[in-house]
Amino acid sequence: MKKSILNLDADKYQRHLIHGPDRIWAETNCYSDVWIELLHALGFEPIASLPFTLVIDFEGDQWTFFKFPLSDLYELYGLDVQELAIWNRLVEHIDEQVGLGRPVLVEMDSFYLPDTHGTAYHMAHVKSTIAIVEIDLEINHLGYFHNQGYYNLSGGDFENLLRLNQNDPVYLPPYVEFVKIWDRAKTNRDLVNASINVLRKQLTFLPDKNPFHSFAERLAKDLDWLSSESLDMFHQYSFVTLRQLGACYELSKTYLQWLTQNGESGLDKAIVLFDEISTTAKTSQFQLARLVSKKKPLDFTPIEKMGQSWQAATKILLEKYN
C-alpha cells in the first residue's frame, strides 16, 4: 500500500526559486538543498530560515558545510526534527514514519539515485541526503527530494538503495532523521518578525576575525600540493572552499532581498556586497582551475576583495540588528 505525505507528481513538481535558472550557483549542498525543497513543498517559505548562512567561517581545511539549524526550523515552522534509531530494517522504519506523516531524511548512496544520472548514478559512490515523503513496499516505489527537485525511483534502484538483498555483517546504518510537523502556522508578518529574531541570534555566532584572511593563508600553502593532485581532488577541494562560500553567500543575498521585500530598510548595500562575494567566488573557481593546471601563481586580489566585502556587509548587519 502506498504511503504518501504530499502526493506530488515528480514530472510536474515546481522547484523553489532558489533553484531557478537565474542563480549564480545552481546547487548549494545536499542537506541545505533538500531542506529548501522540502520546506517549499510543505507550504513554508524557506528563505525565512536562511540567517544561518551569514555566519559561516573558514574552518582550517574547508569552509563551513552550512546546514539549517534544527532549532531555527522549530522556531519558524514548528518542525521538530529528531534522530531515528535504526534497530530494524531501514525500509521498515521509513515505511512506518512516512505512514505517520513524517518526512524521513537519510544519507544514501547516489550510485542508486537516478536523478544523479551523468554524475554519480551507476558511476560513483557518493554520500548524499534525501528526504523521503512517499513509499510503496508492494511495488518497490520511493518518492524523494534530492538536490534541486522531487523524484521517483523503483525496481532495482529501490532494492539496492535500501539494501534489501544485501547482508553485510560490518555494514553501519546511515544517519537518519524524521520530521514531526506541528501546527505552528504563522502569518507572513509574524514569520518575518520571527526570522529577524533568528537573525539577531545567529549574528552572535559571526566569526571573530575575517575568514577570508585565514582562507587566503591556507590556499597559498595548498597551491603547490594542489597543482600536483588529480582533477578529482581539485574538484573536491574547490567544493569545500570556493563553492561552499559562493553558494552560501548567494543565499545570504537572497535572504536580505526577502527582508527588503517585506519592509526592512538599509540592506541594499549589504545585498550588493554579498552578491559580489558570490560572483567573485564563481569566477575565482574557474581561474584557480586554470592556474593550477598550468602551475602558475595565483592572484589573491579577488580573495582580498571578497574579504573587504564581507567586512563591510557584516558591519551593516551588526549596526542594524546587534
Query: Of 117-131, 241-255, 263-277, 308-322, where does mean pLDDT reach its minimum?
Result: 117-131
| d(C-alpha 202, C-alpha 190), whole Å | 18
Q: Which three cell numbers stand for residue 69?
A: 539549524
Matching residue, cell 526559486: 17
pLDDT digits (tens, 9 = 90+) for 155-210: 999 999 999 987 777 778 899 999 999 988 899 999 999 999 999 999 999 999 99
Domain boundaries, the chain: 2-43+79-181, 209-321
Q: Could you tell me the sign of the dihedral formed by the alpha carbons of 192, 133, 154, 13, in that order? A: negative
pLDDT over 90 (residue 84):
yes
The residue written with cell numbers 559512490 in the block is 125
Distance CA 285, CA 226 (A): 13
Specify the pLDDT at position 80: 97
What is the average pLDDT across 246-261?
A: 98
Nearest to 177 by CA among 35, 48, 29: 35
pLDDT, the chain, mean: 95
Burial label, 296 (beta-carbon count in 10 A; 0-12, 13-18, 19+): exposed
Q: Cβ–Cβ contacts within 10 Å for residue 198, how many?
A: 20
State how far the Cα of 51 lies from the Cα of 40, in Å rounded to an integer: 17
For the chain, the first-to-last Cα distance in angstroms comes to 52
Round to whole Å and give the CA distance between 176 and 84: 5
